[in-house]
Amino acid sequence: MKKIILITLLLVLLAGAFFAWKLVGPAVSIEKDSFLYVRTGSDLQDVRTELVEQKFLNSTTYFDLASKLIGYKKVKPGKYKLSKGMSIVSLVRMLNNGKQTPVNFVITKLRTRENLASRIGKAFECDSADVIRWLNNNDSLKKYGLDTNTIMAAAMPYTYSLKWNTPPERILDELHTAYKKFWNSSRNAKADSLKLTPIQVVTIASIIEEETNARVDKPLMASVYINRYRNGWTLDADPTLKFAMKDFSLKRILNKHKEVVSPFNTYKNAGLPPGPICTPSIETIDAVLDSPRTGYYFFVANSDFSGTHIFTESLSEHSKYARIYQKELDRIIAERKAKNQQ
């Protein structure tokens, strides 16, 4: 009888150890870290199905057992990181606690609202169509003091840490909060000294961002555009035409392009365009805020093709350097053509 009891006890212990191992031992069968996406409105059955279909688990037998033991009933949507060898208990606790992995949403240079909506749609649960509806609705944007032309000014080039299931309005709230924080008292004072609003500063910076990568030229280029703006000139900025036509592949601006009907055509309309044409870097925004007072009204690419520019006060000076640049460009093109024909 003692022997039977011992054997029974041993079997119970072995069975307990087996179930314990199934619950706390390696269970998630993946080769590298992956993510389980639990959509808003999902129930426990949806989660079970996703775990098997994505081949995170071979079956949900022990997942169901752990769920009952832990009391996992209410499904919390989100993006959950699963690691190789993760235990069933760890998995269920993570889901039960809603301990999701945040999305690190990085904004670099974006040109249009559609670009922003597409990036958000790819990174978060919300659909890009829902986002663009927000971005295209002036009533929705009114609370930020922005409109469809100026909303891109709030898309500061930062990394935003947000939950995957964050809705569009909340994402825009985060962007606007970062924008307001960026425009601190010091930057606002600099903008005031230039007699520009923050939106106007970002708009000028966006043009410069598209014009040059040369850091040394950015403050001087800002002074050119500010001088033209203050004196009621047209800005004559090629990047604004590309934006107006939504053709960012254009290499050369022709006279026919300058006839496009758009408030962003700075060859036709004096003053600044109604909003930024891209999301400029912080460096470029600060270059505008720290731009020197100059007598410059013109700039042309340097004929040494260094990526820098020559700044001048008069049209005659500008035309002289423009001819030098064009002559050197024609020479290089001719040399390349002759080389290709050899």
- Tell me: the pLDDT tens digits for 115-168? 999 999 999 999 999 999 999 999 999 999 999 999 999 999 999 999 999 999
**Please, are residues 300 and 309 in contact by the beta-carbon 8 Å criterion?**
yes
> 32, 65, 33, 34: which is closest to 48 by C-alpha?
65
pLDDT above 50 for 32:
yes
> CA torsion sign, 141 to 146 to 151 to 156?
negative
CB burial of residue 70 (10 Å; 0-12, 13-18, 19+): middle
Residues 223 and 298: their CA atoms lie apart, in Å, by 10
pLDDT above 60 for 7:
no
Q: For each of the domains in the chain, give its residue range(s) and CATH number, in order of start.
A: 23-97 (3.30.1490.480), 103-182 (no CATH), 185-296 (no CATH)
Question: Could you report how far apart the first and last alpha carbons of the chain are, in Å?
Answer: 102
pLDDT above 60 for 56:
yes
Average pLDDT, the chain: 89
pLDDT confidence band for 58 (50 / 70 / 90): confident
- Look up tokens 């050369």; give the residue: 252
- What is the per-residue pLDDT across 206-257, written as a single tens digit (0 to 9) for each? 999 999 999 999 999 999 999 999 999 999 999 999 999 998 888 788 888 8
pLDDT confidence band for 47 (50 / 70 / 90): very high
pLDDT above 60 for 11:
no
Whole-model pTM? 0.86
pLDDT above 70 for 24:
no
- H helices of the chain, in order, are 2-24, 44-53, 61-70, 88-97, 113-123, 128-135, 138-141, 168-182, 185-193, 198-211, 218-230, 238-245, 282-289, 315-341
The torsion defined by the Cα of 212, 214, 216 and 222, in degrees rounded to 10, comes to 10
**Please, are residues 35 and 79 in contact by the beta-carbon 8 Å criterion?**
yes
**Please, are residues 205 and 156 in contact by the beta-carbon 8 Å criterion?**
no
pLDDT above 60 for 23:
no
- What is the per-residue pLDDT across 257-267, written as a single tens digit (0 to 9) for each? 899 999 999 99
- Look up tokens 């832990």; give the residue: 70
Q: What is the pLDDT of residue 161?
A: 96
- Look up tokens 């004096």; give the residue: 270
Measure Cα distances from 199 to 83, 194, 237 in Å.
Answer: 45, 13, 18
Mean predicted confidence (pLDDT) in 96-123: 95
Q: What is the pLDDT of residue 336?
A: 80
Q: What is the pLDDT of residue 104?
A: 96
pLDDT above 50 for 49:
yes
The total of other beta-carbon atoms located within 10 Å of residue 29's CB is 13
The torsion defined by the Cα of 178, 277, 105 and 290, in degrees rounded to 10, comes to -50
- What is the per-residue pLDDT across 168-190, written as a single tens digit (0 to 9) for each? 999 999 999 999 999 999 999 99
pLDDT above 90 for 9:
no
pLDDT above 70 for 74:
yes
Q: What is the pLDDT of residue 27?
A: 61
pLDDT above 50 for 290:
yes
